[in-house]
Amino acid sequence: MDRLADLEVGELQEALEGVENNTPTQRLIAAIAYKHGITQSELANWFGVERKTIYNWFRRFEQRPLEEAIYEEERPGRPRKLDEDELAALQMILTATPSAVGFDVPTWTVEAVQSLLRDRFDVEYSPPSCRRLMKEAGLRYRHVGEDDIEMNGRGRESCQADHRERKRAWVPTDADG
């Protein structure tokens, strides 16, 4: 079966003008390129995906109307453990320094966030999920200097010793300079 036989290049180009997100744009560009003779293997290489992904994109075009084929369907996934109010409260807490909420660490750590979630919200989160929550709260994991480290009334040497092993820390986005 000739992939995309029922679609015209002009139709694909017109649809491309109306999309804004990355994946729908990639799907349409891949379809247009394929219609111009680029192989699925070449397209997979261009987009840095497996050939199977390109195949799946094209199969979507064959099975659905164009407007539906370019977009992902809703995937509800697992419900969040924190509701919207709890998530907003967590984000507010994470904008404060750890010492302001009773932690004896100079910057937020995954372990401190896990402890905070357990103690204040009675939920358990994995380290990757804690990192996601910190990112959502506006923290970024980056190289730190002395100015980024909250001393919490301790001497500079003590704070530097805390960060000597890891020279990166979770800091507010506005600390990026």
Domain that holds residue 149: 84-176
Query: Is the domain of 101 the same as that of 145?
Result: yes
Residues 99 and 167 in one domain: yes
DSSP state of 173: G
Whether residues 128 and 46 share a domain: the answer is no
Residues 50 and 101 in one domain: no
* First vs last C-alpha separation in the chain: 56
Residues 112, 137 within the same domain:
yes
In a shared domain, residues 50 and 109: no
Question: What single-letter DSSP state applies at residue 139?
Answer: E
Based on the domain organization, do 16 and 99 belong to the same domain? no
pLDDT-above-90 percentage for the chain = 50
Query: Model-level pTM?
Result: 0.50
Question: Which is more confidently placed, 17 or 153?
Answer: 17
The pLDDT assigned to 154 comes to: 46
Task: Sort 67 into a burial class: Cβ within 10 Å, 0-12 / 13-18 / 19+.
Answer: exposed
Q: Are residues 61 and 93 in the same domain?
A: no
Q: Do residues 45 and 99 share a domain?
A: no
Helix, strand or coil for residue 141?
Answer: strand
The better pLDDT of the pair 167, 138 is held by 138
Any domain includes 117: yes
169 and 95 co-located in one domain = yes
Looking at the structure of the chain, the number of domains it has is 2
**Same domain flag for 65 and 88:** no
152 pLDDT band, cuts 50/70/90, is very low
Q: What is the pLDDT of residue 37?
A: 93
Where is the domain boundary, 18, 41, 69? 69
Note whether residue 77 is domain-resident: no
Q: How far is CA 86 from the centre of its chain?
A: 20
Measured between alpha carbons, how far is 133 from 43 in angstroms, rounded to an integer? 34
